[in-house]
Structure 1
Amino acid sequence: MEPITIRRATVEDKPALLQFEQGIISAERPYDPALKAGPINYYDLGQMITHPDTAFFVAVSGGQLVGCGYGRIELSKPISKYDRYLYLGFMYVNPEFRGLGIIQRIMEEIKKWGIANGIQELRLEVYSGNASAIKAYEKAGFEERVVEMRMELN
């Protein structure tokens, strides 16, 4: 196996990232009955890659993208301890590369970027039914804070 490197995403990475996005959506559909049927997109990848308040990283092996994740600076509510936080998202690794610590390496790069930008808190969202993701995030030091609930009215 080729070495795995972590670097900032570029607009040239967009085709592979669009495929990763569909992998995420496929994995999350069973946890979210509110997602509409058919093709959907979560992200504006061009903006995410180029926006100054977002750090989008990719993992590369043998010239091929094998994983990704981003951190985006967000404003906190006025009641929060910190005025800004770093929201993490789009955490994805190709199935054949899972278990190699790629997401942890990407999160470390995002953390470094956040610290360099004066950020003191990380947040992310994960579906409550996604036990393996919850376990991985808890292992990385995250703790549950809020459970969001929903209901349909029809």
Structure 2
Amino acid sequence: MDVNIKDISIKRATTADLPKLVEFLQFLVAAERPFDPTLKEGQIFYYNIEDFISDEKTELLVIDYKHQIIGCGYAQIRSAKPYQNHELFGYLGFMYVSPEFRGNGFNNLLLNDLKKWVLSKGITEVRLEVYSENEPAIRAYEKAGFKQILTTMRCDIS
């Protein structure tokens, strides 16, 4: 879809955005199911979206295109492990752009705004998680400056 960047804005999510955000979360879960055999069937809520809207340590943003929500993502201030060389870090999650709007750089605009918010809190470490088999997402995050540092492994021993 050819979209004029002038028609795009990134804003803080409000409770009015909840129905669309709940829908996006289920689309995200459906996209991640092939990568994770441990996910339960049916609807899954990784987090309480409404809590993110009111939480001071979380910035939940939406991408607005002509008064239609087409994407979202959040940054959350979290405590680092005691052995790490930073006390706090920004954790990014719920990164989603509607399929028909992908490939226009909107996820990168969103990432930049989330990074700015984390920086405004005096924090310079930003992390996110992505499934190791989700190669398009990995490429996109590497393009945005992220580097892989850890792989979680599992084994079903039943």
Both structures adopt the same fold (TM-score exceeding 0.5): yes
Which of 89, 101, 107 is the aligned partner of 2:93?
89
Output the CA distance in 1 between the equivalents of 2:156 and 2:58: 33
Distance 2:48 2:96 in 1: 16
Residue deviations 1:35-87, cap 9 Å, x none? 01122211201101110000011000111100000000000011111100000
Secondary structure in 1 matching 2:157: coil
1:136-147 alignment, distance < 5 Å: 136-147=140-151
Q: Structure 1, unaligned stretches of length 5 or more?
A: none
The residue correspondences of 1:2-151 to structure 2 (distance < 5 A) are: 3-151=7-155
Partners in 1 of 2:53 and 2:153 — Cα distance? 31
**1:152: Cα distance to partner?**
2.3
* Residue deviations 1:79-99 (CA, integer Å, cap 9, x gap): 111100000000000011111
Deviation string 1:7-59 (CA, Å, 9 cap, x unpaired) is 01111100000110011001000000000112221120110111000001100
Letter in 2 for 1:125: E
Report the AA paired with residue 102 of structure 1.
Answer: F
Looking at structure 1, the residues matched to 99 and 42 of structure 2 have their Cα atoms a distance apart, in angstroms, of 23
Note the aligned Cα RMSD (angstroms). 1.0
Same amino acid, percent of matched pairs:
45
Counterpart of 1:135, as a letter, is R
User: What one-letter code is carried by the residue in structure 1 that aligns with 2:99?
Assistant: P
> Partners of 2:35 and 2:46 in 1: how far apart?
15
SS at match of 1:33: coil
What secondary structure, in the 3-state scheme, does the structure 1 residue paired with 2:131 have? coil
Superposition TM-score, scaled by structure 2 size: 0.94
Q: Which runs of 5+ in 2 are unaligned?
A: none
Query: Secondary structure of the equivalent of 2:76?
Result: strand
Which stretches of structure 1, 4 residues or longer, exceed 3 Å deviation after superposition? Answer: none
